Amino acid sequence: MIFNSDNVAGAAPEIVAALVAAATGPAMPYGADPWTASVEKKLAAAFETDDIAVFPVATGTAANVTALSAIMPPWGAVLCHEASHINVDESSAPEFYTGGRLVGLAGEGGKLSLETVERALRTIGQRGVHQVQPRVLSLTQATESGTVYTPDEIRALSSLAHEKGCKVQMDGARFANAIAHLGCSPADVTWKAGVDVLSFGATKNGCMAAEAVIFFGKDKAGDYANRRKRGGHLFSKMRFISAQLDAYLEGGLWLKLARHANDKAARLAKGLTALPGFGLLWPVEANELFVTMPPAVIDRLSTTGAGFYRWDEGSIRLVTSFATTDEEVGQFLSVAATAAGAAA
Amino acid sequence: MIFNSDNVAGAAPEIVAALVAAATGPAMPYGADPWTASVEKKLAAAFETDDIAVFPVATGTAANVTALSAIMPPWGAVLCHEASHINVDESSAPEFYTGGRLVGLAGEGGKLSLETVERALRTIGQRGVHQVQPRVLSLTQATESGTVYTPDEIRALSSLAHEKGCKVQMDGARFANAIAHLGCSPADVTWKAGVDVLSFGATKNGCMAAEAVIFFGKDKAGDYANRRKRGGHLFSKMRFISAQLDAYLEGGLWLKLARHANDKAARLAKGLTALPGFGLLWPVEANELFVTMPPAVIDRLSTTGAGFYRWDEGSIRLVTSFATTDEEVGQFLSVAATAAGAAA
Amino acid sequence: MIFNSDNVAGAAPEIVAALVAAATGPAMPYGADPWTASVEKKLAAAFETDDIAVFPVATGTAANVTALSAIMPPWGAVLCHEASHINVDESSAPEFYTGGRLVGLAGEGGKLSLETVERALRTIGQRGVHQVQPRVLSLTQATESGTVYTPDEIRALSSLAHEKGCKVQMDGARFANAIAHLGCSPADVTWKAGVDVLSFGATKNGCMAAEAVIFFGKDKAGDYANRRKRGGHLFSKMRFISAQLDAYLEGGLWLKLARHANDKAARLAKGLTALPGFGLLWPVEANELFVTMPPAVIDRLSTTGAGFYRWDEGSIRLVTSFATTDEEVGQFLSVAATAAGAAA
Amino acid sequence: MIFNSDNVAGAAPEIVAALVAAATGPAMPYGADPWTASVEKKLAAAFETDDIAVFPVATGTAANVTALSAIMPPWGAVLCHEASHINVDESSAPEFYTGGRLVGLAGEGGKLSLETVERALRTIGQRGVHQVQPRVLSLTQATESGTVYTPDEIRALSSLAHEKGCKVQMDGARFANAIAHLGCSPADVTWKAGVDVLSFGATKNGCMAAEAVIFFGKDKAGDYANRRKRGGHLFSKMRFISAQLDAYLEGGLWLKLARHANDKAARLAKGLTALPGFGLLWPVEANELFVTMPPAVIDRLSTTGAGFYRWDEGSIRLVTSFATTDEEVGQFLSVAATAAGAAA
């Protein structure tokens, strides 16, 4: 009954099996191995384009900040949601890698609105060299609030950003959950919608430690390879990152795992909102729930051994994963019902 | 017959088994898991002291540069061997993380002499704020030349460094091979000899991607944890790094693997030096050989499919690993003998 | 009739004379000259303490960011007003020098309230290494809104900051104007009120290019000297910065010049607020006025040749200086009256 | 009798007069003033091309490191003489601003030979992303050894650098002395010889604090303006830097001052080499002398009150300036003669 985070889960059996298989025999280091080559092919297929540059890394923070550093100058600003991971959970890694600044913007349900971004682009950096200049729009898909941008929303935001000389970076730590929700092609919410570079997350969704930085357009990668290396993020035995990604992409495993997580979140949402005094802060579109309830109920829930984080006052966050079972969902609904009743 | 590098090998079966075992069930993220706790205990035992601070990371470059950044100011200089990994194989990662400068010093067989370090400490930084100031002495154990510092050598160098206000960092990417050669306690060439922080390498010696930064003295770690995070090197599913290290340390596996690699290197050395015109640049004390031979022989060897790197003119580098077999050694000796004969 | 900024003015005659006098004959470089020694003595007298460390630099940005870099780690956050110079007018210099992050906070009249800072200190950085940690509170005196913190306000803010492990930095680009307004001792709003380091500005108040970074407590300067040098801000012919500061401090010139500027601002304020439809955004306590008026009046004023900047809609900013004359004030009041009448 | 450095001198009367004249009246800040415009015109004339971008700054270190940062990536290496100012007298400013690395190369008389640079370009960075990549060749004109590159030498070095994808930066802290020696056009040793960006020094040659970063080709400046600002090197009252440069360039003052300094150096050289046991390390082509003499003579000279620095054992450095008088030269020759005699 641990719903603290999807990083609490282990690894999917298929991922584990792939690592075991990859462990024997020699392979050239630093990405010159067959697993890395296979990942590139599978991502090209999944994203319906050969014009991509793929760079495996091992943490989400590494994926985000190395990508940002490759697409902006050190006097640039990144427009992002104020609750985005780069803004609240990556220490000063963005400043360290980019040399520039994050500008956190407010937005309902973890999403940036066109109006908000338009205003920011219009007002930030007007005084030329005296100020940081917006150069990147960073979108999180799925968002930190468990919501999902539609292809239309991304297209409109990207179009605006490009008009103003910004690149578009997508933090896809939960990209699979977004695609599972939308049912669209990965291309529809990335390069076809104007995204320049994606942090394609896999760790939270069944891998051990594997992410891929994907530039949509080989020429957009610029000097990324040099920057990954100087960040200490180039793995000698790269095969062990790539083998995870390879299995993750094989036969649509990534979407299967994400659908599982999303489904459990939906079940939790359905069950919890049926309880008296319970509600949702935002629609449950991926694998995160933000549930409102009377403070006394939260206090009671805290004593049940159920794992979750308190959010703002009067709400908690629950995260499901590929490993969440119906039994766990049922257990949580049960203790929640008890807590709701007892508190009432 | 691939002797290009020890990073060409896969992973030892015990490491793989540990990962498989660690993959199931929940565990708290970012190091609050039992594997990480176990690694700390095993390292304390191996190094015969509880006063250590242990931080798992996943690449050797990450281990080195995050450690350096935690023990020196941005106007500091790191004295290191000119052929050390930080100086020639980590791009500008040292500058990126530390903000300071590397000063590469010459030294026979990959080792720094007391005289060389003494002179550097005496002459570098004399003009105060106008110059970078020596603040770290970095030693590589085993060295990039396949040689090993004795405890006495390290003690003398560390003592000198400390007298002059420098900390001592040890790049132990092949630390296991050094200990296997020396037959001493790990403590003897680290904290007992004055080393302040060690990059305890495991990747090259049978792990997939696992290193531990070990501060000898909990208080010496300073703000290392913050620096690891802002470098993007804090893993959410830390258990998968720690499980590797845990198995690596279990029952002396790490030394067993290293002894295996060293033994194969010794066999290669013995066999090769028996060939006419063959010699060694430096003593073979770990798992690397630098073999001199007539250029024509090198050219012939290059056509045999044997994997190795050319070093300076007239020499090649061979690296053995935990996975090297006697059969491979035999094969190489055989083609080398043929090449030697044909060329002669 | 140029009220765009105080940096539009030239230099005060006394400053110019001091430079002329300093130009002849040899002097040891990098601060080992009599002018620099004299500045230290005069600042010690002005601030009523010998326990200060003084470092002349030449730009306000340099003063602020070098000081910040010396008192915080690269994973730290600086709490500052959202309209502060470091937050809106120094590009990414703060990130460049500190490696950390600015957190801009709202506050009426350019001032941070105790409540705002308390909330920020309570909420920012709660998730440990995952987040930047507040380490500096930066106060601007006088503020960018032309207001001035009282000694009590600074004392309360500093006390809170220190309790939470933060240092207090003061951006005193217009420090003289603040002291001229308060009529207190410089000590009262700095070290006696808990300020750890001050950017003592002189450029805007009659110097050519001269600021002094003053640490209150010689031991607080840490490695500042090294950081100034590596920023490129250590002047070889330091005498020419110090000679300006020396004259600036001689006989209270700095306060005389500031009183002049403040007085002109007060006259402007008095005259303008007497006009129909005119008002002030904030009290005029230093040498900046933020004047509200009908948009049509602003448009008319823009055509008169009077120099000023539009602020938010419906307001303009006027800045007076040591060089502002009563004639200029009269001229502006005259055209403003005409514009007010014409627009009405 | 102070020959420690040319930064010991004050400022030339013409420079002082220009500052006095510039001090009165308003001027728009940050370079939008007539002095800055005039400097651009005069430099265009002096360098015989309108296609330049000019950026005044105030220290030589600032000029060098901001320029380097604008023309190389953070994984780049700067090839420079091991005795160059950036390599030995600018702390870690080069690493701070560029993020990359300096590679100091040996060279007789402070000059880099074609062979040395060719070898460095051939051998450094061969292992791709694992290593820093040469991206800039930095030449010092006049060199730190008091010698001067000929136009042919610069042309050959620049041509080689460009072929290998490097830009050419020139540290011209003593550029005037070099031109005074060569008697050629400034264009001949800069853009016509392949130099991309020059630190045009003025401080050492009669200014107070003034340097100009000159890009030969407006498009080569890239984002330099943003980088100057974020380094804290954009002056609000820019006129006071520019007025110095303007006077410095007026009527060839800069060359007049440099010829004066060079002439005094030549006289010293002539007089000293006539003494028994005295010699020169390198030809005296600018305003620095490196004089060899018996150690006992150096010891005696040290007691005479004459200002100089000891260089390597058995030699001293003397630097003349625009302010050096024949009387001072005579005095030094006199005490040197006495010291030589007494020691013998």
Percent of chain B with pLDDT over 70: 99
- CB-based contact A92 C102, cutoff 8 Å: no
Query: D258: distance to nearest CA of chain C, Å?
Result: 17
Query: Closest by alpha carbon to C238, among B166, D8, B150?
Result: D8
Whole-number Å distance between alpha carbons of C135 and C203: 28
Report the neighbours of A using a cutoff of 3 or more CB pairs below 8 angstroms.
B, C, D
Of B30, B129, B230, the CB nearest to C226: B129
- CB-based contact D232 C66, cutoff 8 Å: yes
- CB-based contact A130 C95, cutoff 8 Å: no
pLDDT tens-place string over residues D62-85: 999 999 999 999 999 999 999 999
CB D111 within 8 A of CB D189: no
pLDDT tens-place string over residues C186-198: 999 999 999 999 9
For residue D216, list its beta bridge partners.
D52
Residue D34, pLDDT > 80, answer yes
Residues of D whose CB is below 8 A from B91:
75, 129-132
Query: B6: distance to nearest CA of chain A, Å?
Result: 9
Residues of A whose CB is below 8 A from D75:
223, 226-227, 229-230
pLDDT tens-place string over residues C174-218: 999 999 999 999 999 999 999 999 999 999 999 999 999 999 999
CB B138 within 8 A of CB B86: yes
Query: Closest by alpha carbon to B321, among B173, B205, B211?
Result: B205
SS3 per-residue string spanning D205-218: HCCCCCEEEEEECH
Q: What pLDDT score does C102 carry? A: 98
Query: B272: distance to nearest CA of chain D, Å?
Result: 28
Residues of D whose CB is below 8 A from C102:
none
Query: B13: distance to nearest CA of chain D, Å?
Result: 29
Q: What pLDDT score does A1 carry? A: 80
CB atoms within 10 A of CB C28: 17
pLDDT tens-place string over residues A284-318: 999 999 999 999 999 999 999 899 999 988 999 99
- CB-based contact D232 C61, cutoff 8 Å: yes
CB atoms within 10 A of CB B48: 14
pLDDT tens-place string over residues A101-134: 999 999 999 999 999 999 999 999 999 999 999 9
Amino acid identity, residue B123? T
ipTM: 0.97
Report the neighbours of D using a cutoff of 3 or more CB pairs below 8 angstroms.
A, B, C
Residue A56, pLDDT > 60, answer yes
For residues D99-110, give the mean pLDDT. 98
Nearest residue of D to residue A223 by CA position? D73
Residue A344, pLDDT > 60, answer no
For residues B138-167, give the mean pLDDT. 98
Size of interface A-C (CB pairs under 8 A): 52
Across chain C, what does the average pLDDT equal?
A: 97
Q: What pLDDT score does A343 carry? A: 54
Of B9, B203, B234, the CB nearest to A26: B9
Q: What pLDDT score does C312 carry? A: 83
Residues of D whose CB is below 8 A from C15:
23
- CB-based contact A234 D129, cutoff 8 Å: yes
Radius of gyration in angstroms for the set of CA atoms belonging to chain D, rounded to a whole number: 20
For B173-201, give the DSSP string: TTHHHHHHHH-S-GGGGTGGGT--EEEEE
Query: What's the pLDDT band for A341 if we cut at 50, 70, 90?
Result: confident
CB A229 within 8 A of CB D75: yes
Q: Which residues of D touch A (CB under 8 A)?
A: 30, 73-75, 129-130, 133, 223, 225-230, 234
pTM: 0.97
Q: What pLDDT score does A266 carry? A: 98
Phi and psi at B280, nearest 5°, equal -120, 140
Of D30, D129, D230, the CB nearest to A229: D129
- CB-based contact C10 D22, cutoff 8 Å: yes
Q: Which of B129, B135, B234 to mutate to test the interface with C (most CBs of C within 10 A)?
A: B129
For residues A15-24, give the mean pLDDT. 98
Of B24, B57, B230, the CB nearest to A96: B230
- CB-based contact A23 B7, cutoff 8 Å: no
Whole-number Å distance between alpha carbons of D309 and C323: 45
SS3 state of residue A116: helix
Residue B343, pLDDT > 70, answer no
CB B112 within 8 A of CB B120: no
Size of interface C-D (CB pairs under 8 A): 151
CB D120 within 8 A of CB D62: no
Across chain B, what does the average pLDDT equal?
A: 97
C165 burial level (CB within 10 Å; 0-12, 13-18, 19+): exposed
